[in-house]
A and B are shown apart, each in its own frame.
Chain A
Amino acid sequence: MLNINDLQASVEGKEILKGISLRVNAGEIHAIMGPNGSGKSTLASVLAGKESYEVTGGNVLFEGKDLIEMAPEDRAREGLFLAFQYPVEIPGVSNINFLKTAITEIRAYKGLPPLSSREFMNLLKEKQELVELKTSLVNRSLNEGFSGGEKKRNEILQLAMLDPKLAILDETDSGLDIDALRIVANGVNKLRTENNAFMLITHYQRLLDYIVPDFVHILYDGKIIKSGTKELALELEEKGYDWVKEELSVQASHSL
């Protein structure tokens, strides 16, 4: 589904991603972990197409298509979804109309007619229960005045509504209390199928108690330095990131 090959990217001339290769297949959940500043969020932003990031090398294929060449809206229409670490508040754009517009544009891209109001409302009601988001919030301006937890749940609501092939969750667990974390994790688990895939970007192992990943990758200084299964996350939790850094420097001195 997603094939990242030696991806390099920089922001304002500073190189952040220094050659990342990763393959995500349908049905898989990948966790990307790493210390602050390792490039986790940059990877998410580059994949979603944020303009301030410049891809300086490598390539990314999404369902066989060149992702980097696509406009952000086309990536979304092709089935890529980014749950933002900091969802933007947009006063004056109602949550519900935003969702309706997004679904209509995505369907139009696929040559499908818009959903009828009834179909849309039924879908919304169903997905809203999944993330336990109050109707009053759905009718409000997009994220305006939402608590941190409400914003994150709203991201998952959008995820559920848009039904992407690949969802990237950028530190969706940060700032969540345990109840909100459970709701978010529960939502993801219910949305998981053998046809879609998830990339969980997280600093902590905590989220992975609730969403069990198939693979865990450790990102450090713009590179994936270690990959493994869920046990790697536990090991990391136990030993801390310093352990990885030490391993890395040992490797580096060996290769000298």
Chain B
Amino acid sequence: MEKGIFNNFYKDLINYFENGLPASRLTEPGWLSEKREAAFNLFKEKGFPSRKNEEWRFTNLERFLADDFKFRVQNGADKVSAEIEDFEASRIRIVNGRFAADLSDPLPDGMTFMDTSAALSDPRFAGKFGSIADDRESSMLALNTAFARDYSILHIAANAIIKKPLHISHIYTEQTGPSFIPYRTLVIAEKLSEATLVETFHSDAAAPVFVSFVSEQQIDESAVFHSHMINTLGENVYFVQHREVLQFRNSVLNNSNITLGDTPLIRNDLNFRLQGTGTETNLLGAYLLSGGQHVDNHTLVDHRMPNCNSNELYKGILQDKSHAVFNGKVFVRPDAQKTNAFQKNNNLLLSNQATVNSKPQLEIFADDVKCSHGSTVGQMNNDALFYLKARGIGEETARRLLMEAFVFDIISRLEIPALREYTAGLLKRKLHTDNLVIA
């Protein structure tokens, strides 16, 4: 047996799967039941990953999984403000993992969104669930495969150029008791398509919520896919995400991953597998942490083919007793000649009690490549602080200005103005600078 975590939550889950399967499971396609069975066995054997697992060395899940999480039927009381001001977009809401049709807009031609039953009955996507995120070692992925209650598919048709972004709001509203919400989406961007997906994460939960969210994405030949994740989750949501992206020849993927909420735990596993030649992958990340927040970003860019470019920049600020983990793997496989791969992680550590574990990890097996990686952990620049103060700007304001500037470096790279405004607003709210005149 592995050295996993086998707590009460684990025991409940095992019992639930073996004895208490809901009726909906019985009508599922056979291929899915088989996948769930296999995944369940893996999870049962490994348990939740403990700190003995190299990938979880700096994130102690046990601490966050102490509540008595259950599957619950949430009432969709949705008072959460999940809008982005002045944002021209089609909106879809996923409330507690489930597609909320009544709160969602019709989509433009070439873009289709399917809820669980539509997704599972569409023969085009039979067997797709779990075929992109197919890591057979990850027990957290297996947990989701075995238990994902809801499943949706976003499909972008070949050659469709969709100007209007899609905004998916993920909202968690549990009110009754500690709740477990596992769900999954699949994104298929067919060849020569272009689309933008903005995902925002919100909560208004009175009780603790443990979210397991998996997104599998397939970006076909010459498709362009812009994806943004903005996490504004509140104080009692524990959020674990696994995102597996397959990129085919000449495709472009842009991803931003911005954390400006108050959630105690975020763990993102973002894996980008470059399956074809000539791809481009741009990754941006920002986090501003306070209190006892713990945010762990694991990214993997896997260069498997020649002539691919990847670029990654993550920046974060840590205050109070917060803890950030950045683990950025870049693999350049033997066939991946002429790779350009760049990665950077910069941190501003503003408290004696805050911790950063930054681990850039570049593994190169090809000999004709350009790669670099770097990581910094620094403190407030005292010369800059003095400069601001010498112009009459008070200590507090000056510090916040500098913090804002540090993160704004990432936010300013977002291409959608409404999104820049929105994230800048979240940043100011978190820094308490929203009543200052600085724009």
Contact = CB atoms under 8 A, between A and B. Distances in A.
Interface stretch (B45-53, B360-368, B386-394): B386-394
A170 to B, nearest CB: 11
Contacts of A73: 389-390, 392-395, 398
B389 A92 contact: no
Interface in B391-419: 391-395, 397-398, 401-402, 404-406, 408-409, 412
A165 to B, nearest CB: 13
B409 A97 contact: no
B321 to A, nearest CB: 26
Contacts of A106: 392
B384 A88 contact: yes
Nearest to B408: A92
Contact of A76 (B392, B405, B437): B392
Nearest to A96: B439
Contacts of A72: 386, 389-390
Given A90-B405, A92-B404, A100-B437, A48 B390 contact: yes
Interface string A64-86: 00000001110111000110100
B383 interface: yes
Nearest to A76: B392
A50 B439 contact: no
Contact of B393 (A49, A84, A88, A102): A102
Interface range on chain B (Cβ under 8 Å from partner):
20 to 34
Contacts of A82: 390
Contacts of A109: 392
**Which of B382, B386, B398, B439 has its CB near the most chain A CB atoms (within 10 A)?**
B386
A218 B404 CA distance: 43
A114 B393 CA distance: 14
B66 interface: no
Nearest to A92: B405
B406 A98 contact: no
Contact of A92 (B391, B398, B409): B409
A91 interface: yes
B402 A105 contact: no
A82 B402 CA distance: 20
Contact of A93 (B382, B389, B401): B401
A91 B393 contact: no
B391 to A, nearest CB: 4
Contact of B387 (A75, A87, A104): A87
B436 interface: yes
A90 B401 CA distance: 10
B86 to A, nearest CB: 19
A105 B383 contact: no
Contact of A105 (B386, B394, B405, B406): B394
Contacts of A162: 391-392
A202 interface: no
Contacts of B439: 94, 97, 100
B404 A101 contact: no
Nearest to B387: A88
Given A90-B405, A92-B404, A98 B395 contact: no
B438 interface: yes
A87 B386 CA distance: 11
Contact of B383 (A48, A71, A88, A102): A88
A105 B397 contact: yes
Interface in A2-42: none
B386 A50 contact: yes
Contacts of A75: 390
A46 to B, nearest CB: 12
Contacts of A49: 389-390
Contacts of A158: 391
B209 to A, nearest CB: 34
The listed residue with most A CB atoms (<10 A of its CB), out of B389, B391, B393, is B391
B392 A90 contact: no
A51 interface: yes
Contacts of A105: 392-394, 397
A98 B404 CA distance: 12
B376 to A, nearest CB: 14
A101 B438 CA distance: 6
Contacts of B387: 84, 87-88, 90
Contacts of A71: 389, 395
A100 B438 contact: yes
Nearest to A164: B392
Interface string B181-209: 00000000000000000000000000000
A77 B394 CA distance: 10
Interface string B353-383: 0000000000000000000000000000111
Contacts of B394: 73, 105
Contact of A101 (B383, B390, B393, B406): B393
Nearest to A74: B392
Contacts of A48: 390
Interface of A: 48-51, 71-73, 75-77, 81-82, 84, 87-88, 90-94, 97-98, 100-102, 104-106, 109, 114, 141, 158, 162
12 contacts: A51-B382, A73-B392, A73-B394, A84-B387, A88-B386, A90-B387, A90-B402, A93-B404, A94-B439, A97-B437, A98-B393, A162-B391
Q: Which 7 A-B pairs have the closest CB atoms?
A: A92-B405, A76-B392, A102-B391, A106-B392, A72-B389, A88-B387, A73-B389
